[in-house]
Structure formats: structure tokens, C-alpha cells
């Protein structure tokens, strides 16, 4: 079911500062910020030869990232995103095996313009999982 790792997401309290660190200190290529109001975040992607790192900060007080940063003020790993070929088939298989899909269970459009779903971290060793259809 799982394809390659699409990205690892890191929640940060200051996206501009984190972007500068990745560009200047690590010499990375970083995309321009992209606001995703439907997900409550602003994101940039660090482009790597084999995957991406997503840096995300809250977009408004109701953002789920704001709650994460309240518990982890310096930021930290938020989720890992795996690619799947058919997100509906993956969702149905996971639900049939007892995994919990967050939200209403219907895919939303993610930062790459593709359908995404999130899986409950309690079902996956404490790690929030994002699935993205490719």
C-alpha cells in the first residue's frame, strides 16, 4: 500500500527563521511560503534529492499546529507523509483493519494539490501519518 516517503513535516514557531536556517546554514533550496487556510498552516518545502522536508507554522490561533507548539515550544517533527496510489482504497483498507482516519474521513487537497488524509497517531506508534495520493 505505502509508496515512497513524500516528506517529513517539522512544526516551527517561526517559519521565516526556520527558512533562513535551512537556506543559509544548510545551503538548502526552500520554496516560497504557501498559506493553506483549510489546514490552518503556512508551509515551505525543503527540496532534497530523495524527498522533501515540510516546515509548517500555525495560520491563526485555531491551527492544530498552534496546539502542537504549545506542547513543544521549540517545534519538532509533526508527521510523516507516505505516498499511495489510490487514497480511497488505502483509506478503506486501513479502516477495515481498525485504523482511525482523522476528520470526516474524506480526502482534502494538500499542499501539492493532491488528495491527502491523516491517520491517528495512537494507531501508529505515536506518529501522525499523512497519506498523499500520487
| Cell numbers linked to 65 | 499546529
Q: Where are the domains of the chain?
A: 5-133
54, 57, 83, 130: the catalytic one is 130
| Spacing of C-alpha 33 from chain mean position | 14
| Cell numbers linked to 5 | 516517503
Return the pLDDT at 61: 86
- Residue 130 annotated to the active site: yes
Beta-strand pair 41-47/52-58: antiparallel
Q: What is the pLDDT along the chain (134 residues), one digit of tens a residue?
A: 999 999 999 999 999 999 999 999 999 999 999 999 989 999 999 999 999 999 999 998 899 999 999 999 999 999 999 999 999 999 999 999 999 999 999 999 999 999 999 999 999 999 999 999 99
List Cα–Cα distances, 108 to 22, 35, 38, 60, in angstroms.
Answer: 28, 15, 9, 19
Q: Whole-angstrom Cα distance, residue 125 to residue 50?
A: 24
- The domain 5-133 is placed in CATH, from the list 3.40.50.300, 3.10.180.10, 1.10.10.60, 2.40.30.10, at 3.10.180.10
Dihedral sign from CA coordinates of 88, 93, 85, 59: positive
Amino acid at each position: 500500500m505505502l509508496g515512497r516517503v513524500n516528506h517529513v513535516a517539522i512544526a516551527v514557531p517561526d517559519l521565516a527563521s526556520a527558512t533562513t536556517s535551512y537556506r543559509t546554514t544548510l545551503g538548502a533550496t526552500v520554496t516560497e511560503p504557501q498559506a493553506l487556510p483549510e489546514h490552518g498552516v503556512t508551509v515551505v518545502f525543503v527540496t532534497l534529492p530523495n524527498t522533501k522536508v515540510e516546515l509548517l507554522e500555525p495560520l491563526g490561533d485555531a491551527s492544530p499546529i498552534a496546539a502542537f507548539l504549545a506542547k513543544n515550544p521549540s517545534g519538532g517533527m509533526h508527521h510523516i507523509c507516505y505516498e499511495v496510489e489510490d487514497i480511497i482504497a488505502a483509506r478503506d483498507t486501513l479502516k477495515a483493519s481498525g485504523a482511525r482516519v482523522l476528520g470526516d474521513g474524506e480526502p482534502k487537497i494538500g499542499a501539492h494539490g493532491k488528495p491527502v488524509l491523516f491517520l491517528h497517531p495512537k494507531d501508529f506508534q505515536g506518529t501522525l501519518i499523512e497519506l498523499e495520493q500520487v
